[in-house]
Structure 1
Amino acid sequence: MNVFAVEGLPEIEPGDDIASLIAERVDLTPTDIVCVASTIVSKAEGRQADLSEFEPGEQAERIAEQVGDLADEEKDPRFAQAVIEESEELLMEFPIMLAVTTFGHITINAGIDRSNVPDADLLLLPEDPTASAQRLHEALGVPVIVTDTSGRPFRHGQRGVAIGWAGMPAARDWRGTYDRDGKELEATVQAVVDELAAAANLVTGEGAGGKPVAVVRDWEFGEFDGSDDLFRDEDEDLIRPALKEYSHAGD
């Protein structure tokens, strides 16, 4: 496959038509998958916010005080309140705010960004990234993945992940196929939208690069069953109960 960044995109403003801006700059083919950074989706959808919009409650004040004591610096409780309001649940409050977003993604600070937001304090994730991907998919006629960068437990650094997708399954299911020794695979489900998001992140980059869209060309899903079960259900998750137990250990 070939992965390349779309060049020459302008700074995205609320109301901008991202699909048209992409189509003007690249001739898409039927084999393409377009990976779009959530930052420009959020900007186009008006998801900028100022800290003054958030009135901190008791929980936010407590979190800011705890994190501030750890970091030996004052923390703004309005930011903690923004995270709370953008979350379905906080799995951890301290030493980090690990949030479950309303669409099922689990990430630090509910994915709220403070960089590359020229006209506001904060950039919130799209309210429904899969719906955003669906609109782009319908406009562009190819599969679309909305990406974000996220850290991983037990490893340094961040990598691209999918938070919304349309026009293709999230994963391909290897269960029922066989390895080279003839053993049947019983558990392997490959999260291809995450892998493609990570590949896209290699060419879009971070910081001031200004290349928020990548095209993956000539990758094939293959003759596999597909699945959209990317976010693990709570009743199947072994880690979430342990985090909750840890976070309430001092109560």
Structure 2
Amino acid sequence: MELFAVPDLPEVQPGDDLGALIRERVDLRDDDVVCVASTVVSKAEGRQADLDDFPAGPRATELAARLGEIAGEEKDPRFAQAVLEESTEIIMEAPFLLTESRFGHVGVNAGIDRSNVPDADLLLLPTRPTRSAERIRSEIEADNVVVTDTCGRPFRHGQRGVAIGWAGISASRDWRGETDRDGRELGVTVQNVVDELAAAANLVAGEGAGGTPVVVVRGFEFGDHAGSDNHFRDVESDFVRQALREWEYEG
């Protein structure tokens, strides 16, 4: 398997034909997986916003004041309002805002970005990333597309690439019922391949000012496994989320 960045992509603007920009710069093969950073998807879809678009209500003002007290610096309640409007649930209120987005992704600050947004204050995540992946897949006539983002993880330091939308490829492959090298049957192993591909692509795309938001994964083989589009854990089986709902920050 090999990965390479699509070169020379311009700064993406609202309304740009992202599929055409990709297609003009790479010759795709059957079974390539095209990983596209959510930042350029959001820019093409016009998801830039200014803080003034989110006049703060009482709840946002309260959250910003508490976060500012914890951090020892002033926090803009308009940003907190943007997070509230982009979320279906605030799972943690302090020492940061951990939220569930409208499409099921759990992350800090509803995934709102303030980096590499030259013409606005904020960049919101795509409204429906899987729908975006389906559209890009059709535009570039690719077999598989994954829309990626970066976020932190419980129990680990730093951020890694994750999938927030996908098309063509299944989100996971199911090893249950197969056997290991000693003939023992696997009973719980379900591999989240879109997250793994997103993480690998992020190593090539880089962070900060890298400017290479589209990566092609070539030679990946899903194999003869059952596939599933189960990706975001449902609340009933998400015991960490259930515990966090009862937890209060005391720092």
Bin for the TM-score computed over the shorter chain: over 0.9
For 1:51, the equivalent position in structure 2 comes to: 51
Q: For residue 184 of structure 2, what is the aligned residue in structure 1? A: 183
Residue 206 of structure 1 deviates from its aligned partner by 0.5
CA distance in 1, matches of 2:117, 2:192: 30
> Which amino acid in the other structure matches residue 166 of structure 1?
A
1:104 alignment counterpart: 104
Aligned to 2:225: 224
Matches within 5 A, 1:163-242: 163-242=164-243
**Cα RMSD (Å) of the superposition?**
1.0
Q: Distance in 1 between matches of 2:95 and 2:63?
A: 9
In the superposition, the TM-score normalised over structure 1's length comes to: 0.98
Partner of 1:67: 67
Structure 1 stretches lacking a partner, 5+ long:
none
1:141 Cα deviation after fit: 2.2
Aligned length: 249
Output the CA distance in 2 between the equivalents of 1:78 and 1:229.
Answer: 34
Report Cα offsets for 1:47-105 as digits up to 9, x if no partner. 00000011111211111111101111111000000000000110011111000000000
Equivalent position amino acid for 1:72 in 2 = G
SS at 1:155 equivalent: coil
Q: Identify the range of structure 1 (138-147 vs 43-52) with the bigger mean alpha-carbon deviation.
A: 138-147
Distance 1:145 1:161 in 2: 9
Alignment of 1:70-149 (within 5 A): 70-142=70-142, 143-149=144-150
Partner of 2:2: 2
Partner of 1:160: 161
**TM superposition score normalised by structure 2:** 0.98
Distance apart, 1:239 and its partner CA: 0.8
1:230 CA drift (Å): 0.5
Question: After superposition, what is the alpha-carbon deviation per residue over 1:149-171, rounded to whole angstroms, capped at 9, x for unaligned?
Answer: 01111111111000000011000
Residue 78 of structure 2 aligns to which amino acid in structure 1?
R
* Alignment partners' CA distance in 2, 1:88 and 1:49: 19
Indicate the residue corresponding to 2:151 in structure 1. Answer: 150
Q: Which moved more, 1:36-45 or 1:181-190?
A: 181-190
Quote how far apart the aligned CAs of 1:112 are: 0.1
Structure 1: how far apart are the matches of 2:196 and 2:214? 15
**2 CA distance for matches of 1:58 and 1:185?**
51
